[in-house]
With several copies, the nearest count.
Chain A
Amino acid sequence: MSMNSQGRPTAPTADNDTGEMKPVFESFSGHKGLRIAEPLVFELGTTQTTGVDVEEIEDFELSVGGLERDTEIGCPGLAEPDVVRHFTRLSRRNYGIDMGVFPLGSCTMKHNPRLNEKMARLPGFGDIHPLQPLSTVQGALELMSELSHWITTLTGMPAVALSPKAGAHGELCGVMAIRAALEARGDAREIVLCPESAHGTNPATAAFCGYKVKSIPAKENGRVDAEALKEALDDTVAAVMITNPNTCGLFEDEIKDIADAIHAAGAFFYCDGANFNAIMGKVRPGDLGVDAMHLNLHKTFSTPHGGGGPGSGPVVFSDALKDFAPMPYVVSGAGGYEIVEDGDNTSLGRLTAFHGQMGMYVRALSYMLSHGSDGIRQAAEDAVLNANYVLASLGDVMSASFEGPCMHEALFDDRFLKDTGVTTLDFAKAMIDEGYHPMTMYFPLVVHGAMLVEPTETESKYNMDQFIRSMRGLASEAKAGNIGRFEGAPYHAPWKRLDETQAARQPVLRYTLPEAAE
């Protein structure tokens, strides 16, 4: 056995297919074939190198009030070739929808059409300033107006506020509108009701609107208990925040009854619309008694998640709330489109500096126009079909949390792993070895060791069958007691399991120069 340059021994390894032992050699570079090591940009570049050419400026007198920056900033620059390589290499450590099934429940990781990317980059959309004279952005305003028309038509709601920047921002917008409406009628209420299964943003939002959050229980079948809800409803309740379809992937069967009860109590019904993908074109929230609901354009309408954002969270409003919608909004006047951005009105105010996520509006409208009314309904049906196909195909080997069909996502819990020593986390990491992004784990909180699988409509039957084969295989391995497959997983990923505890205990949140480091 030889030693490599770092002095580590190279070791034999077994060939995966034959079990035969073969040597594997550590490289001198640290790279391994197409898996290429890549340090931080700070370890590669210097503050003296740059990957841009900038016009040389002759000396001139500065007018910065004597406040020139005269200490080192510390940001390194790389020549362009090295920048391309750095980020190409980094990208190859990621999993994305473009690589395979990404069944992350509650996130609707559907195909992101490249047409949308192209459209958003048209200079007429991508290269216009939010404060240009309105006469020079009529096309943009028309697009926003057209998008609003699609959204209100699909949701059956009279109005929409486009500006919220993501789902959580939309929730803020919606609950604020509710509070504004209540205050306008002099009604100071204190409580927002949320089911236990609610996404974390729901209670957090309610808190940021100055409300106390009270939990409402679920029925055996995973839906909100309308009776319990009715009991909790009184004149201190400002709003009820319900996700529908809910985070267990189920449609709230008593939704209209619930809505009526909410309204009867003088409260408002905020619907978390993160799961709208299951029902778009199939049923309109406006027909169900909803007062406010956000859409996640980055889920339902295919704008890319981009590793965490940006998103866009338009909020639709009922007649009771629409006058409290935020500014700015677009109106169509005699001389063309206008923006209302100020003035005396009942609007809850401004939620963001400009008009919201134009880049996402373009992509979402591109998606809507492409699908049309027929394709949108078909997409919802296919999303639900794929999820139920997973549920039906895995029900015998995994433990479905609830009886009966689901909507766009199938919820399992960890009962099938009982006594195997395998946890939901282990199971998820083994899915990585299978070439899949894990499903959502440990959410919703209402079942133990939750596994929430949302395939979306853009997966083929071939992909679903292959995925199901893996899931079945893993489930039977777990039951067979082959715990090794799980506890060390992932084996095939570029990194082994990462230590989150260590990260939180001694947080290192930025690079510091070796000499400056303690």
Chain B
Amino acid sequence: MRYLPLTNDDRQAMLAKIGVRHVDDLFRDVPKADLNPDIDLPRHQSEMMVERQLSKLAAKNTSAGSVPFFVGAGAYKHHVPATVDHMIQRGEFLTAYTPYQPEIAQGTLQYLFEFQTMVAQLTGMDVANASMYDGSTATAEAVMMARRVTRKKKAVLAGGLHAHYRSVVETTTQFTDDVIESQMPMPSDPEAELQVAINAIDDTTSCVVVQNPTVNGSVLDLTAIADKAHAHKALLIVVVTEVMSLGLIKSPGEMGADIVVGEGQSIGNGLNFGGPYLGLFATNQKYVRQMPGRLCGKTTDSEGKEGFVLTLSTREQHIRREKATSNICTNSGLCSLAFTVHMSLLGEKGLRQTALVNHKRATDVKNALAGIDGVEVLNSSFFNEFTVKLPTAAAPIVDKLAADGVLAGVPMSRLYPGGGFDDLLILAATETVSDDDIEILAAKLKEALS
């Protein structure tokens, strides 16, 4: 076995040193009858054979880059520069553990400090943590944090929150003290959708959770809901599933958010069929000690040299155990590195430019589809994603186009089965979409509808 350095001679010599005859003597606490069961699995294989087998599976999937691609709804296909992947494959980053020994982990710690700063800047908040699993789990953590901060229980989930995020919040809090009030999307009236959430805020409310842009792609002005929440001493939690949008749209911080959570996949990270992704979590200074997740902070070494350490760990499970702010341990370290590298390349300038291209592409797609008979665009505002109403159920149309080599978006019924949205289709367009792609989409959709 190519990964196992011990030779049989080594093993014998080591057993002798230990003073046992057979390696199974070391397993003496294992019930004899259960030791060394038959394992009905294939034997070891060469690298070449494994590569072939896995490549064969990979080849059965349609990769985003190989077709006109308009799928979004919480995960986005962006161009990630080759430099990003090169950097995250540096062995010193890839094969390090959580930086518990800061003297030999300043590489990790410094990028975490940079990452925290970038996330804070993007979201318009004071501080951010060193990442969560993904946007959805970060949302659940935010709801629970709001309960700790406000000592109130009712969390209002606005209708524009991604169905899966809503499910994750509901699942995660089902055995906690939180009471979740979930609302349904109103794809053709985002203002009304928001108003329903505003109306639901009362003195028992710990937080209201609003996604921006919404699951249907609409861009919301959050100042009114922030005001209402704050008037009732509730927190405004803003969820950003497309972090690229922050290059074009006012930050949640500027609109009054108390906690911003988000999915950072769009920057630096691939689609990966849903994971690993990158949960962003930012809040204001005063709530720092209620935050979940790791934090990296600045300090000095014994010679006065500036450096970084993990800090405020009295919030965390390894110190606080059952009183911890979260049970999270392993997070999305390397994904946050990818984010940090990509952000260092983009800078504010590149981010703004890229965000603008996204919006332009989405505008182009919208215009192309608006011209098709029977297709109605529901959004008046959007970033790189919007919702259209088809004259027929969307799912079969999407399947038809897929068979035809176009991945046309997410039928809303995939997210809300039985929710009465069968004729709605959510399409995203990023900088990776070309004019040709748009033309093909429009033509095929027209054909499929006729």
Contact = CB atoms under 8 A, between A and B. Distances in A.
Contacts, number: 787
Nearest to B106: A93
B339 to A, nearest CB: 11
A133 B402 contact: yes
A499 B244 CA distance: 36
- Using C-beta atoms within 8 Å of the partner chain, give the interface range for chain A: 35 or more
A252 B131 contact: no
B286 interface: no
Interface stretch (A61-69, A315-323, A415-423, A473-481): A61-69
Contacts of A282: 27, 30, 35-36
Contact of B50 (A38, A366, A406, A502): A366
B316 to A, nearest CB: 7
Nearest to A122: B58
Contacts of B118: 75
B343 A95 contact: no
A65 B40 CA distance: 43
B199 interface: no
A196 B183 CA distance: 42
A326 B171 contact: yes
Interface string B166-195: 011011101111000000000000000000
Nearest to B141: A208
A137 B93 CA distance: 31
A166 B141 CA distance: 15
Given A98-B92, A356-B274, A33 B104 contact: yes
A115 B50 contact: yes
Contact of B330 (A82, A252, A309): A309
A73 B70 CA distance: 28
Contacts of B296: 509
Interface of A is mostly: loop
A499 B104 contact: no
A345 to B, nearest CB: 13
A450 interface: no
A11 interface: no
Given A64-B381, A168-B328, A310-B330, A351 B172 contact: yes
B83 A114 contact: yes
B270 A127 contact: yes
B310 to A, nearest CB: 8
Interface stretch (B16-24, B202-210, B437-445): B16-24
A99 B93 CA distance: 11
B353 interface: yes
Given A49-B7, A52-B47, A130-B273, A498 B343 contact: no
Interface in A450-491: 457-461, 463-464, 488, 490
Contacts of A305: 95-98, 330, 333
Nearest to A502: B299
A47 B348 contact: yes
B337 interface: yes
A230 interface: no
A335 to B, nearest CB: 12
B431 A204 contact: no
A358 to B, nearest CB: 4
Interface in A281-329: 281-284, 287-288, 296, 298, 302, 304-312, 326
A112 B3 CA distance: 9
Q: Which of B36, B62, B111, B162 has the most CB atoms of chain A within a 10 A radius of its CB? A: B62
B133 A69 contact: no
A64 B330 contact: no
Q: Which of B107, B165, B273 has the most CB atoms of chain A within a 10 A radius of its CB? A: B273
Given A136-B407, A374-B43, A283 B101 contact: no
B407 A200 contact: no
Contacts of B294: 308
B431 A55 contact: yes
Contacts of A143: 54, 57
Contacts of B290: none
Contacts of A428: 101
A495 interface: yes
Contact of A310 (B50, B318, B335): B335
A353 B165 contact: yes
A498 B299 CA distance: 7
Interface string B88-128: 11111111111111111111101111101110111000111
Q: Which of A33, A69, A125, A282 has the most CB atoms of chain B within a 10 A radius of its CB? A: A69
A126 B271 contact: yes
B64 interface: yes
Nearest to B90: A91
Interface string B130-168: 110111110000001000000000000000001011011
Nearest to A306: B334
A104 B101 CA distance: 11
Interface in A347-404: 348-360, 362, 365-366, 368-379, 381-382, 384-386, 388-389, 391-393
A308 B344 contact: no
B103 A139 contact: no
A493 B326 contact: no
A231 interface: no
A377 B344 contact: no
Given A96-B92, A283-B35, A166 B344 contact: no
Given A200-B317, A305-B96, A507 B297 contact: yes
B272 to A, nearest CB: 5
14 contacts: A48-B349, A49-B5, A77-B348, A83-B87, A139-B56, A139-B58, A166-B329, A176-B174, A179-B175, A279-B27, A305-B96, A342-B417, A490-B104, A510-B120
Given A375-B4, A498-B299, 10 more contacts: A91-B107, A129-B75, A136-B407, A200-B321, A306-B94, A308-B332, A310-B332, A349-B167, A354-B75, A385-B11
Q: Please provide the 4 A-B residue pairs with the shortest distance between their CB atoms, ordered closest to farther.
A: A77-B347, A354-B274, A124-B58, A306-B334
